Amino acid sequence: MCIDYREMNKLTIKNRYPLPRIDNLFDQLQGAQYFSKIDLRFGYHQLRVQDKDIPKMAFRTRYGHYEFMVMPFGLTNAPAVFMDLMNRVCKPYLDQFVIVFIDDILIYSKSKAEHEQHLRKILEMLKEEKLYAKFSKCEFWLREVQFLGHVVNSEGIHVDPAKIEAIKNWDNPKTPTEIRSFLGLAGYYRRFISNFSKIALPLTKLTQKSEPFVWEQKQEDAFQTLKQKLCDAPILSLPEDCDDFMVYCDASHQGLGCVLIQRDKVIAYASRQLKIHEKNYTTHDLELGAVIFALKIRRHYLYGTKCTVFTDHKSLQHIFDQKELNM
């Protein structure tokens, strides 16, 4: 049950505790062979509300007024508060053999013996902290696991087949809101698609208030291309260490794009559309912008390491010969 707390949420001081980046969570799984997944029962309801705040949780039904004594769904700070709790509880094991995303717990190990020890530690910890799991939603000793809309195994990361099926059966959008819904789902998997932003450009334009909604052939082509590319999405590898990274960059007047590769295996694609002022850039500046974009968006992999950057604009190599750059 989710109560409409929108009016109270407007008055609530926001808890800025950050949720983890999903890309960063998956990077920890390199080399893992065994997985177990634990789902907490009614996650938010396992946190008590302070007595002084219970009246604020009141809701009305035809049978009368009721108050939540535990944290309900629908509160603006609920995800941040629960994420904070889980990170504090699991702190000794984070970045070692456990990943936590709100009420989902993933335990990963490189061997059977390790996995048995890791499972025992996590289950004992949950028992000690009085956090209860829903057994029917838990899975143990997996060689392949579905987690946060992805499938992970020793080969790498795949798009969840259930999501692929939903995308495959998606009807043509009839309104800007429906386009946003489709792009929201497709954009979640943009790391699997080369030049995602460039392909999605005709659809993105229709979401602008100043743009009349006219579904033409270019929108149909973009829609079908995105669906096809998501259905044929490749397996992405997990980075093994901080060596041998290669970045391939490309730019056009439709957008910037790059791909991160390690030892001939694709780690992730990235792309974005041009900003208004960038549409006036020369080809040279756009190609340089693509390099900067790639290094920024993948800085968590590349910072402090040696990497090789490839661009198809030869004049960029002369940057290193200039004493001063025109800025």
Gyration radius of the chain's alpha carbons:
24
Split at pLDDT 50, 70, 90, the class of 127 is: very high
Burial class (CB in 10 A: 0-12, 13-18, 19+), 15: middle
Please write the tens of the pLDDT for every residue from 29-76: 988 999 999 999 888 999 999 999 999 999 999 999 999 999 999 999
What is the bridge-based pairing of β-strands 34-39 and 139-142?
antiparallel
Split at pLDDT 50, 70, 90, the class of 17 is: very high
pLDDT computed for residue 109 by the predictor = 96
CATH of domain 5-154: 3.30.70.270
In the block, residue with structure tokens 């997985």: 35
pLDDT computed for residue 241 by the predictor = 79
326 DSSP 8-state letter: -
Residue 1 clears pLDDT 80, i.e. is over it: no
Span 155-177, average pLDDT: 91
Of 295, 238, 235, 268, give the one whose Cα is nearest residue 99. 238
Query: What is the assigned CATH class of domain 158-232?
Result: alpha beta
- Beta-ladder partners of 261: 246, 266
Residue 323 clears pLDDT 70, i.e. is over it: no
Q: Which CATH number fits domain 245-318: 3.10.20.370, 3.40.50.2300, 3.40.50.10540, 3.40.50.720?
A: 3.10.20.370
Residue 325 clears pLDDT 70, i.e. is over it: no
Please write the tens of the pLDDT for every residue from 65-121: 999 999 999 999 999 999 999 999 999 999 999 999 998 999 999 999 999 999 999
pLDDT computed for residue 282 by the predictor = 84
pLDDT computed for residue 209 by the predictor = 87
pLDDT computed for residue 318 by the predictor = 64
Please write the tens of the pLDDT for every residue from 260-292: 999 899 999 999 999 989 888 888 888 889 999
Which residue spans of the chain are classified as CATH 3.30.70.270?
A: 5-154, 158-232
pLDDT computed for residue 319 by the predictor = 65
185 DSSP 8-state letter: H
Split at pLDDT 50, 70, 90, the class of 215 is: very high
pLDDT computed for residue 320 by the predictor = 62
Which residue spans of the chain are classified as CATH 3.10.20.370?
A: 245-318
The pLDDT > 90 percentage for the chain reads 67
87 or 324, which is more confident: 87
How many other β-carbons are positioned within 10 Å of the β-carbon of residue 38?
23
Span 15-39, average pLDDT: 91
The pLDDT > 70 percentage for the chain reads 95
